[in-house]
A and B are shown apart, each in its own frame.
Chain A
Amino acid sequence: MLGLFLDSSTPIFGYLPIVLLLLVATAFPLIALAIGKVFRRSVFDRTKLSAYECGNDPVGDARERISIRYYLIAMLFLVFDVETIFLFPWAITYDQLGLFGLVEMFLFIGILVVGYYYAWRKGTLNWV
């Protein structure tokens, strides 16, 4: 009866077990939390439920504004991540592309290395 559902020749057939595993992997922590709820006891205490700050009362909200360096790191990561993604299909077809492939990727990486060098010179890669 399940034969109606899906043709095993489609390339996405193999993703169904991943979906099944997603269900199992989600169920596991939920069940663990639910079982724990039965056994554990909980005593309300305002001091215990405050954020940890070495024993002192927490000062202000923790969600202060963060350093701009994190933004820069994420931005650089994004650019180089896209570059890496471009490398994947290139690597797969490399045996068919040959020297031409090497030259075009050399150009591509070369242009990005200019940007990398610029970021280096401007101190973006330093975390001081």
Chain B
Amino acid sequence: MLTTDILIEWLVKIGVVFFILMTAIAYVVLLERRLLGFIQMRLGPNRVGPFGLLQPLADGLKFLFKEDIVPLEADKALYVLAPMIALVPALMTISVIPFGDKIVILGREIALHITSVNVGLLVVFALTSLGVYGIALAGWSSNSKYSLMGGLRSSAQLISYELALSLSVVGVIIFSGSLDLVEVVKQQNSFWLGFIPKWNIFTQPIGFLIFLIAAIAETNRVPFDLPEAETELVAGFHTEYSSMKFAMFFIAEYANMVTASSMATLLFLGGWYGPFVDKFPLLGPIYFSLKILFFLFLYIWLRGTLPRFRYDQLMRFGWKFLIPVALANVVLVAGLALLIY
């Protein structure tokens, strides 16, 4: 039965997780700017507050006060709608991501995820596949040549790498036998020889690498940041966007990064599992955050070191390398699984 206390539990969880997500996004931006600074032998933003810790707040205020420009030639309705289409699904994916096992608070057993559904993985993929429209419609509605080019390129890139992304996950599903993300994590609980954790990364390293590369491409990050490509497309699909609407694309990108990192953690790195997590379930979210932080650091590190792909190289890499390798990986893992069973 849907009782009042279940409803309250949901609302509290949604509130807490949403708040943590937004804060995390704000500080990942700061982390990125500071790390990029260090990589490039400079300091990065360090003036607002101690170590620049209030910088995200200042940025947020700045976004609020900036003039909001809607080009005269733009399709007004779609122009306003596009950033929302990009942002809302990106924020919604957090709903099916489990970040820990059950804990007991005030005599009440609380599962550490907003909700758990039978097809959690499918929900994540469905929501991320909606992200294409935010970018494509932003490009089309701005009625600027740069935006349209950026939007089109980006949509083609997103759909190309989505294939490799979903193919790389098939191997994980073979082992877990379920699309429920909680089940996927629990299957990675035990150990080989008593100390090597049974994480999927060890059984299918190829799948993990494909997932990681495709996920970076899906989030439009360096070296796959073709849609933005400041040097040739002057920010691509969001050339015309300013103020809060630009901020929405920005938040959506970082929310997608967090989602991609948590998916990589859940599918390949054993989710919230780590030493002593069985005795102290509260350690779960901490391990989970640390693993996510590792991936986020990787994102930033890549941005600091790699140049950008050319568009034909990007398409060739996606279609002629990643997809065949991902297909071969599926067959390989299936064969392996047959030997183990």
Interface residues of A (CB under 8 A from B): 1-3, 5-8, 11, 13-18, 20-22, 24-26, 28-30, 32-33, 35-37, 39-43, 46, 48-53, 58, 61-64, 66, 69-70, 73-74, 76-77, 80-81, 84, 87-88, 91-95, 98-99, 101-102, 105-106, 109, 113, 116, 120, 125-128
Contacts and interface: CB of A to CB of B under 8 A. Distances in A.
B172 to A, nearest CB: 8
Interface string B46-72: 000000000000000001111111111
Contacts of A80: 163, 323
Nearest to B13: A17
Nearest to A32: B244
B133 to A, nearest CB: 13
A23 B37 CA distance: 38
B84 A51 contact: no
Given A14-B118, A36-B243, A127-B316, 7 more contacts: A14-B115, A16-B10, A21-B14, A42-B68, A73-B156, A73-B315, A92-B177
| Chain A to chain B: the 9 pairs with minimum beta-carbon distance, closest first | A51-B144, A91-B173, A25-B91, A17-B115, A127-B312, A127-B315, A77-B159, A14-B117, A125-B319
Nearest to A110: B331
Given A26-B88, A50-B73, A52-B234, A98 B67 contact: no
18 contacts: A2-B3, A3-B1, A17-B115, A20-B11, A21-B91, A22-B92, A29-B88, A32-B244, A43-B67, A48-B69, A52-B234, A77-B159, A77-B162, A81-B159, A93-B177, A99-B338, A109-B327, A127-B311
A6 B1 contact: yes
Contacts of B248: 29, 32
B160 interface: yes
B14 A36 contact: no
B20 interface: no
Contacts of B69: 48-49
B2 A5 contact: yes
B162 A95 contact: no
Contact of A52 (B63, B146, B341): B146
Nearest to A81: B163
Contacts of B3: 2-3
A88 B144 contact: no
Given A17-B10, A62-B143, A128-B312, A84 B167 contact: yes
Contacts, number: 217
- Grouping DSSP codes into helix (H, G, I), strand (E, B) and loop, the B interface class, with mixed when no group exceeds half, is helix
A7 B1 contact: yes
Contacts of A52: 144, 146, 234, 239-240
Contact of B68 (A36, A58, A125): A36
A84 B166 contact: yes
A18 B204 CA distance: 31
A116 B261 CA distance: 31
Contacts of A43: 67
A51 B73 contact: yes
A3 B68 CA distance: 46
B258 interface: no
Contacts of B65: 36, 39-40
B5 to A, nearest CB: 10
Given A18-B92, A51-B73, A73-B156, A98 B143 contact: no
